[in-house]
């Protein structure tokens, strides 16, 4: 009876489902850390660059800032030049991202149920899960971005600015965290503090101030420090040259196509990997965004934050691509996945509350049926697209894909 009582208390613990989700996905990541045993996707570039930094003290990827590259170097030095050395740090960073996402949701006044659902959706979303287990710059950048979001909602404006700077130092797109919190601050109905200006100032100071220091860490020499402004200009120049007209890559696609065309990017590895948004999330991107927008208009903090997050990490790519012709790929949606999971968790939580509070009737059971259907579709999406089932369903059914 005592054991049963303790188990019951653990089940009723506020963080029970968070613990189960985090530990469960962490175990899944570690169980396949060696697969594939060779580099995959853009690991080819970044692991090769990390090796060159270790051997020759210079970077081959001048279009990217140094922080995430140095973290990949650190993983190789700690765990060896093998799959564990490449991927353990990204896995740990992505686990921290999931944890912070939960507390972000809670601070935005989402219920424990809604926050737990949002965390489950994010942790088991295929694109997030796949990239989170690989040596990619995006993983580290997103972790610092999530830290910035969390610190911002707790009004830790200085720390939030530092985190934004670190996110941008991992990958330039991490700077998009600043307009995300800026839009939320501008339209939030809660008391807006002028101390938010410290977030803006610190993000710029940290980014420009640490860039030369990290460059010296790469080159192992004080002569490696460069003018950070000139360096950023060079990075932007290098990336701007990668356009749809100049890049011959079968997997390129403009960002507006991601909303209405489902084209997974399968890779010839065993077990199979597929770069694709889970179809349970992909099918609901537009409805969820409109739902968050409606909540934002109703002055809901979570809805407003979700809209701000989605706007700056995804929607801005549409005009940017039209204006610059900058080449894009489906995995660029990675930083925006959390925004959709936040909105979907919010909506599912509201349906569950409706089910609990409704005394009877068909609408009561319809609400529950919708929740079950979406969660079931999400689990199926994860199993179909992730490498845990040895059958490559995408290839088996002949789905229209890019190769």
Q: 266: which strand partners?
A: 274
Dihedrals phi, psi of 171, to nearest 5 degrees: -155, 140
Which H or E element spans position 115?
Answer: helix 112-123
Q: Which residues contact 162 (CB under 8 A, 6 or more apart)?
A: 202, 203, 206
Q: How far apart are CA 200 and CA 161, in angstroms?
A: 6
In this structure, are residues 399 and 280 in contact, taking their beta carbons and an 8 Å threshold? no
As given in the structure block, the two tokens for residue 299 are 């002055």
Which H or E element spans position 274?
Answer: strand 273-275
Q: 326: which strand partners?
A: 243
pLDDT per residue rounded down to tens, the chain (403 residues): 667 666 667 667 778 889 999 999 999 999 989 888 888 888 889 999 999 999 998 988 878 899 999 999 999 999 999 999 999 999 999 999 999 999 999 999 999 999 999 999 999 999 999 999 999 999 999 999 999 999 999 999 999 999 999 999 999 999 999 999 999 999 986 667 888 999 999 999 999 999 999 999 998 887 767 788 888 888 888 888 889 888 887 778 899 999 988 877 766 555 567 788 999 999 999 999 999 999 999 999 999 999 999 999 999 999 999 999 998 888 899 999 999 999 999 999 999 998 888 888 888 889 999 999 999 999 999 988 887 776 665 565 555 544 3
Report H helices in 66-111.
67-79, 83-107
Q: 258: which strand partners?
A: none
Neighbours of 245 (CB within 10 A): 8
- Count CA atoms within 13 Å of residue 341 on its CB side: 29
b/e map of 186-197 (b: 16 or more CB within 10 Å)? eebeeeeeeebe
Q: Fill in the DSSP letter of residue 57.
A: S
Q: How far apart are CA 72 and CA 77, in angstroms?
A: 9
The burial class, CB within 10 Å (0-12 / 13-18 / 19+), for 237 is exposed
- Whole-structure pTM value: 0.92
- pLDDT at res. 403: 39
Q: How far apart are CA 169 and CA 173, in angstroms?
A: 9
| Length of the chain (residues) | 403
The CA R_g of the chain, rounded to the nearest whole Å, is 21
Q: How far apart are CA 351 and CA 333, in angstroms?
A: 27
- pLDDT at res. 270: 52
Report H helices in 243-361.
279-282, 285-297, 301-310, 317-324, 337-357
First to last CA, the chain: 57
- pLDDT at res. 10: 61
- pLDDT at res. 190: 67
Which H or E element spans position 265?
Answer: strand 265-267
């Amino acid at each position: 009876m005592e054991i049963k009582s303790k188990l019951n208390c653990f089940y009723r613990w506020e963080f029970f489902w968070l613990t189960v989700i985090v530990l469960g996905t962490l175990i899944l990541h570690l169980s396949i850390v060696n697969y594939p045993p060779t580099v995959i996707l853009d690991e080819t570039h970044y692991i090769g660059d990390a090796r060159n930094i270790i051997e020759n003290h210079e970077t081959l990827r001048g279009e990217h800032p140094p922080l995430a590259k140095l973290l990949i170097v650190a993983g190789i030095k700690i765990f060896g030049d093998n799959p564990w050395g490449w991927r353990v740090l990204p896995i740990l960073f992505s686990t921290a991202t999931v944890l912070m996402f939960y507390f972000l949701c809670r601070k935005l006044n989402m219920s424990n149920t809604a926050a737990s659902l949002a965390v489950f959706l994010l942790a088991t979303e295929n694109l997030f899960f796949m990239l989170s287990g690989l040596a990619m710059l995006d993983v580290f950048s997103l972790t610092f971005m999530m830290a910035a979001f969390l610190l911002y909602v707790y009004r830790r404006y200085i720390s939030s600015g530092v985190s934004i700077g670190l996110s941008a130092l991992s990958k330039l797109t991490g700077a998009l965290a600043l307009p995300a919190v800026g839009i939320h601050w501008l339209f939030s109905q809660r008391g807006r503090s002028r101390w938010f200006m410290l977030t803006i100032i610190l993000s710029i100071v940290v980014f420009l101030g640490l860039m030369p220091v990290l460059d010296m860490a790469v080159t192992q020499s004080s002569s490696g420090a460069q003018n950070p402004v000139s360096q950023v200009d060079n990075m932007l120049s290098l990336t701007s040259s990668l356009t749809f007209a100049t890049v011959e890559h079968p997997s390129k696609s403009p960002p507006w196509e991601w909303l209405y065309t489902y084209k997974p990017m399968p890779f010839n590895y065993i077990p199979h990997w597929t770069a694709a948004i889970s179809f349970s999330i992909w099918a609901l991107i537009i409805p969820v965004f409109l739902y968050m927008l409606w909540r934002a208009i109703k002055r809901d903090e979570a809805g407003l934050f979700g809209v701000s997050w989605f706007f700056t990490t995804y929607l801005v790519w549409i005009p940017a691509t039209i204006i610059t012709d900058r080449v894009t790929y489906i995995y660029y949606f990675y930083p925006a996945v959390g925004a959709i999971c936040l909105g979907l968790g919010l909506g599912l939580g509201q349906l569950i509350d409706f089910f609990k509070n409704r005394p009877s009737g068909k609408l009561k059971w319809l609400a529950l049926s919708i929740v079950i259907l979406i969660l079931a579709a999400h689990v199926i999406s994860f199993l179909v697209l992730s490498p845990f089932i040895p059958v490559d369903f995408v290839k088996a059914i002949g789905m229209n894909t890019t190769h």
